[in-house]
Amino acid sequence: MDFILKGMGQALMLLIQGDPETYSAVGVTLYVSSVSMAASLLTGIPAGFILGFYDFRGRKSLRLIVDTLLALPTVFIGLLVYALVSSRGPLGPLGLLFSVPAIAIGQTILAFPVVTALTATAVEGMDRHLRPTLMSLGASRRQVVKSCLWEVRYGLLAAGVTAYGRVMTEVGISMMVGGNIKWHTRTITTAIALETGKGMFETGIALGMVLLFIAFAVNVSLSFLRRK
């Protein structure tokens, strides 16, 4: 128990003193997660809305595929992206392997089905009388869509937070296509795994505390948006 308390004390000192290695991993994590979340929200919310709002042929099969992708292992996504961006892959000439954009691509693939599935679930749970009521009042198609999205806004927030949680805590993708390169592609989770394995317990705790703080900040922001 003493080594845990000692590690926490040393971790606080690293954060207070602004340890450059620690904050480098934090910066990479925040950047790549923000890029991947922006991409997944811009694509996943429209896809989820279409999947939950409209009735079309093959909808149930498509929904089953999206729900299945929720359990997609991160190491498999890492393997897929590695095959795409490696020198023998179709994106090999771009030189993306062991780079931040490669991690962002993998994390976008990870977050997309989460956003899509939860958005579709929120839309499916919406009052079915809303659409015909709006149309009877003379609302245009764009106004109907905007009103429906506003109706399920809390579900969309929950989808974003859930996807962000998966992106922030994944290890497999960052390790496989990022390479865990110091000062370049090392993220919080890969740094925790590496430093703990090296016996640098205090660094792992410091980075873990940062993850907890980010999760707390996200939930506080969500509560604030709900009150608004």
Q: Where are the domains of the chain?
A: 28-187
- Confidence at residue 225, expressed as pLDDT on a 0 to 100 scale: 67
d(CA 81, CA 179): 13
Buried b (16+ CB within 10 A) or exposed e, 28-51: bbeebbebbbebbbeebbebbbbb
Question: 28-187 in CATH: which number?
Answer: 1.10.3720.10
26 CB neighbour count, 10 Å cutoff = 20
**pLDDT tens string 182-214:** 888 888 888 888 877 777 777 777 788 888 888
Judged against a pLDDT cut of 70, whether residue 6 lies above it is answered with no
End-to-end CA distance of the chain: 43
State pLDDT tens for residues 128-177.
Answer: 777 777 777 777 778 877 888 888 888 898 899 889 988 988 888 999 99
3-state helix, strand, coil in the chain (%, to 5): 80, 0, 20
Q: Residue 105: its pLDDT value, please? A: 95
Q: Residue 226: pLDDT above 90? A: no
Higher-confidence residue: 32 or 4? 32
Whether the pLDDT of residue 228 is over 80: the answer is: no
pLDDT at 19 exceeding the cut of 80: no
The position carrying tokens 């390790």 is 175
Both structure tokens of 19: 């340890």
74-96 pLDDT tens trace: 999 999 999 999 888 898 888 88
| Residue in 217, 214, 190 with CA at minimum distance from that of residue 203 | 190
Read off the pLDDT band of 107 (50, 70, 90).
very high
